[in-house]
Structure 1
C-alpha cells in the first residue's frame, strides 16, 4: 500500500474548516492581520458558539459573560483564541470513525497539545502556538488510517493490544509506512507549514534522521508526559525516565526535570469543544 492510496479517498478525509487552515498557515507569519482572522472566526457560527462556551466556562473564570469573539479576543488575546479555533476545528472535522473513540482520541490530542505548549514556553527554540498545533495533529495519521483503511487499522490495533508488535513495527509490516508518515503527507496536502509536518513525522524518533529538530523534540516530550499521565506513573519514575537528551535538543534547561510535576497536572479545559 502507498500513502497516496489513503489520500486519494478525498470523501473520507477530515473536513477541516478553511479558517483553521488559514490560521495554521499563518503560524509563522509576523505580518498576519489577526483582526481579519477574528472577523472570519465570528462568521463561523459553529466554531464561535463552541469557543464562547469554553471561554465562559469555569476553566477561564472570567468575571463577566463573554458574548462575542471580539470580546474573547480582547480578554484572552489572539494567541489563545487561535489555539481554541484550531482545537475546535479539528475536533469537529469528523463525526464518526470505525474502531476509534473520537472523544478519547481528541482528549488525548488536546492534552499533548497543552503539554507541548508548556514545554515550548520554556525554550527559545520553539513557538508555543506551533507547538500547540503540532500536539493537536500529532496523531492525525492514525485518524486518517481509521477513516480510509479501517480493516488494516483494526489489524494493527490487535497486534499492538496482544503485544505481538509495537505500533511502529506493526504499521510498517502491514502498511509499508507509519501513521506518522501518513500524517505528514496529509499536512503537506493541506499545505501546512513544512516544519509542522516534519515534527509530526519524526516526533516518535527525533534522533533517527539528521539533527533533531526542536519542535519534534518538544512533541516527543509532550507524548512522553502524556503516556505517564495515562498510566498514572509515579513522579519519581517520570523524572527518572525523562529523555534528557531530547530535552537538551529542544533547548530546555537541565532543571526542567524539577518542574515536571506542574506539567503532570495540566487541565486543558478543552474537552467542552467535543460536545
Structure 2
C-alpha cells in the first residue's frame, strides 16, 4: 500500500463512528494489568442500555443457561472478565456501524456471513482446546473481520461497486480485486478501523492479516479465522462478495487435522449455533 492510498484509507476510517464511551473505557481497562473484573462491571453499570443488552444476550439461547441471570454482577461471574469484554465489544461494534451502510451493502447478508465466521472460528478454537474465555476472542474477531468492507462501501462507494462487480466474475478473488482497483484490501482497512477503536493488538493484527495466510507467521487465531471464512463461504452463509473458496494451506490443515469438507462434517451443529448467534446483531442494532 503506497502512502497516498494509506492516507486516503486513514481519512475514510476517521469518518467511521467511535465506540460508545463505556466501551472505550472497558478497552482502556483491559490494557491495564491492575484492572479488576469489578472495575469493568462498574463501567458497564453506568450505561443502562448497554447493561440491558448484555443481560438479554446472556439469557438468550446463545448461552443456553438453565436459569435466568438478572444482574450484571452475576453475568460477570458467569462469563469471566475476557468473555464479558468480548461480548460487550461485539455488541458495541454492531451498534457503531452507520445505518446508511444498508444503502450500500446488503447488511443482512453481511452480518450472516460474519456471524457464521465468528461461530465457526469459536467452534474451531474449542476443537483445539482453547479456554472458554479465549474462545470469546475467536468469536469477536470473526464477527469483526470484514468491517473494512463497510468502510469501503460507505466512503469509497463508486470504487467499491466496481470491486464487487469484478469479484463476481468467475475466477476473481475479492481482496485481489480490491488491491487492483483501490490499492488496499478490506483486511487492511479493517486493521486500521480496529486501531481507531483501540482493539487489543492480537485482534487488530488478526483482522489485518486474515487474507495473508502463508505470507509469514502462523498463529492459532489467524488459522482458525482463515478456515472459518472458507467454511462459511463453502456453506453460503450470507455473502462476503467473495465467492472463491481457498484451500487450507498445509500449516492450517495440519493444525486442524482435517480438510474443509471434513471440518464441515465434524460441525453438524454449526447452522443452529449461527442462528443462536443472531442475537448479537439484533441487540447490537437496537438503539
TMscore range, shorter length:
0.7 to 0.9
Among residues 251, 264, 270, which one is paired with 1:264 in the alignment?
A: 270
The number of equivalent residue pairs is 264
C-alpha displacement of 1:153:
1.5
Among residues 52, 57, 60, which one is paired with 2:55 in the alignment?
A: 52
Q: 2:15 maps to which residue?
A: 12
C-alpha distance in structure 2 between counterparts of 1:158 and 1:121, whole Å: 37
**Cα-Cα RMSD:** 3.2
C-alpha displacement of 1:253:
4.7
Q: 2:201 maps to which residue?
A: 194
C-alpha distance in structure 1 between counterparts of 2:253 and 2:44, whole Å: 35
CA deviation digits over 1:88-132, x for unaligned, max 9? 111111222132133332232222122222222333689433322
C-alpha distance in structure 2 between counterparts of 1:217 and 1:164, whole Å: 23
> Does 2:30 correspond to 1:39?
no
Q: 2:113 maps to which residue?
A: 108
C-alpha displacement of 1:219:
0.9
Distance verdict in 2 for CA 1:4–1:253, change over 3 Å: same
> Is the contact made by 2:19 and 2:197 (CA closer than 8 Å) also made in structure 1?
no
C-alpha distance in structure 2 between counterparts of 1:161 and 1:172, whole Å: 15
Q: 2:243 maps to which residue?
A: none
Q: Equivalent residue of 1:119, what SS?
A: helix
C-alpha displacement of 1:13:
0.5
C-alpha displacement of 1:143:
1.3
Q: 1:135 maps to which residue?
A: 142
Among residues 50, 65, 70, which one is paired with 1:67 in the alignment?
A: 70
C-alpha displacement of 1:176:
0.9
Among residues 160, 172, 180, which one is paired with 2:179 in the alignment?
A: 172
Give matches, 1:145-164, under 5 Å: 145-163=152-170
CA deviation digits over 1:7-65, x for unaligned, max 9? 22466314322443455566686654121112212222232222222233344444444
Q: Equivalent residue of 2:267, what SS?
A: helix
C-alpha displacement of 1:165:
3.0
C-alpha displacement of 1:223:
0.8
> Is the contact made by 1:55 and 1:72 (CA closer than 8 Å) also made in structure 2?
yes
> Is the contact made by 2:14 and 2:196 (CA closer than 8 Å) also made in structure 1?
no
C-alpha displacement of 1:138:
0.8
Among residues 211, 217, 224, which one is paired with 2:217 in the alignment?
A: 211
TM-score for both structures, normalised by structure 1: 0.80
C-alpha distance in structure 2 between counterparts of 1:255 and 1:9, whole Å: 38
Unaligned runs of at least 5 residues, structure 2: 239-246, 283-287
C-alpha distance in structure 1 between counterparts of 2:11 and 2:259, whole Å: 47
> Does 2:100 correspond to 1:96?
yes
Q: 2:242 maps to which residue?
A: none
C-alpha displacement of 1:243:
5.1
C-alpha distance in structure 1 between counterparts of 2:155 and 2:135, whole Å: 31
> Does 2:248 correspond to 1:245?
no
Q: 1:84 maps to which residue?
A: 87
Distance verdict in 2 for CA 1:10–1:217, change over 3 Å: closer
Distance verdict in 2 for CA 1:180–1:10, change over 3 Å: closer
Greater Cα offset, 180-189 or 11-20: 11-20
Unaligned runs of at least 5 residues, structure 1: 233-240
> Is the contact made by 1:110 and 1:136 (CA closer than 8 Å) also made in structure 2?
yes
